[in-house]
Structure 1
Amino acid sequence: MSNVLIINAHHHYPFAEGKLNGTLVQMADELLTAKGHQTRIVEVDKGWDVDQELENHQWADIVLLQTPVNWMGVPWTFKKYMDEVYTAGMGGALCNGDGRTEEAPKANYGSGGTLAGTKYLISLTFNAPKESFDDPNEYLFQGKSVDDLLFPMHMNFRFFAMEPLETFACYDVMKNPQVEDDFQRFSKHLDTHIPG
């Protein structure tokens, strides 16, 4: 069984209270603990202790990031979390610097991670419909995928030598929500990628 750190990166707004992301976090916790996994949940909106978060990442076999996509990225509060926690982890808790050496100061940038063997799963909620991705005829994303859009997040985890599990996404959650279908797909996704 695995240790799973679940991060709820939702930031509350009057028009987005976080019920869907909160429910997905609760579902993940219940489904994973029922299979015998150990879980810890961090709600970014409630604040964090940097040292505890470094320990959480070292403890985890899998980090599940549950986040809405706000203006093509993660909420600003989670960016602040990363700025504080991940910067503090540069001294060895998460990585030994940026991977470069005096002998090769221009090579291997980003290869200093200390979390090899740790996996991560990004789970997203979008206002955008699924059809707006992977289609070169669509206006905004111009044929790009969800993972193309989230490339910076993938690189943040890769900086620590973490390995990706397949990304999950709920689409069109504000104008055309299909939450029951989303919940079924999410449950199946976790069964597939974090089995018991």
Structure 2
Amino acid sequence: MKNVLIINGHQYYDVVALGELTKKYVNKADEFLKNNNFEVKHTHIEKGYDIEEEGKKFKWADYIILQFPVYWMGLPWITKKYFDEVLVQGVQYANDGRSRTDASKTYGSGGLLQGKKYMLSLTYNCPFCEFDNKNGFFDGLSLDQAHISTHKIFQFCGLKPLKTYSVHDIFKDDLDINLELKKFTNILQTNFNIEKE
């Protein structure tokens, strides 16, 4: 049985960010994974966490799903704080990989969580058309390129990426959450090698 850690990186703000959408995705991932015989543990950052316990979860997990709303083009600050605290003060996950005697060992190659994988799942107000668009806000960057700093957190620890999911225009009245959750489930099926029924 494979182990999955789902991290809820939501940060509450009255009226604009209540956490309901993030919760729908966390619940859908939990249901999907348990129905497909994965062992699941959760961390809801905003509810608090123990640094040592989080270190154990990182070592336990074969996969990590990070679910978060994009605030100002990146992680909510409590989620960045979580990684700072857990990865700096917790169990050691990486050295920087360099070697004084072997020049082929390069910076960022010393991750100690080799063999594990991660998935980013993002909720966005901006439209998807802003990505891969040389005239768009992100200057032609893809969705994953725009989140390079978050990807690099996991890469530095030795994890490999799975396909990223994102939902866009979340404040528009025409958001079809059932359709979006179906798209999310399809990506989970791909990422976790589950055959579609």
Q: TM-score by structure 2 length?
A: 0.92
* CA deviation string 1:46-96 (max 9, x = no partner): 11111111110100000000011100000000011011001124x63x12x
The reply to whether residue 170 of structure 1 matches residue 171 of structure 2 is: no
- SS state at 1:40 partner: strand
Letter in 1 for 2:68: T
Range with greater deviation from structure 2 (168-177 or 67-76): 168-177
| 2:183 aligned with 1:182 | no
Please identify, of 22-31 and 97-106, the stretch whose mean Cα deviation from structure 2 is larger. 97-106
Q: How many residues in Structure 1 have an aligned counterpart in Structure 2?
A: 192
Quote the residue 1:148 is aligned against: 145
Partner of 2:11: 11
For 1:180 and 1:53, how far apart are their aligned partners in 2?
32
Partner amino acid for 2:34?
Answer: T
- The reply on whether 1:65 has 2:66 as its aligned counterpart is yes
TM-score w.r.t. structure 1 length? 0.93
What does residue 53 of structure 2 align with?
52
Q: Deviations over 1:100-154 (max 9, x none)?
A: 223358961111111111000000000001111111122x112111101100111
* Partner Cα separation in structure 1 for residue 176 and residue 168 of structure 2: 8
Residue 100 (structure 1) aligned with residue 94 (structure 2) = no
* Structure 2 counterpart of 1:59, one-letter code: W
**4+ residue stretches of structure 1 with deviation over 2 A?**
101-107, 175-178
Q: Which runs of 5+ in 2 are unaligned?
A: none
The runs of 5 or more residues in structure 1 that have no matched partner are none
Tell me how far apart the structure 1 counterparts of residues 73 and 103 of structure 2 sit (CA, whole Å). Answer: 33
SS in 1 for 2:133: coil
Provide the aligned C-alpha RMSD in A: 1.6
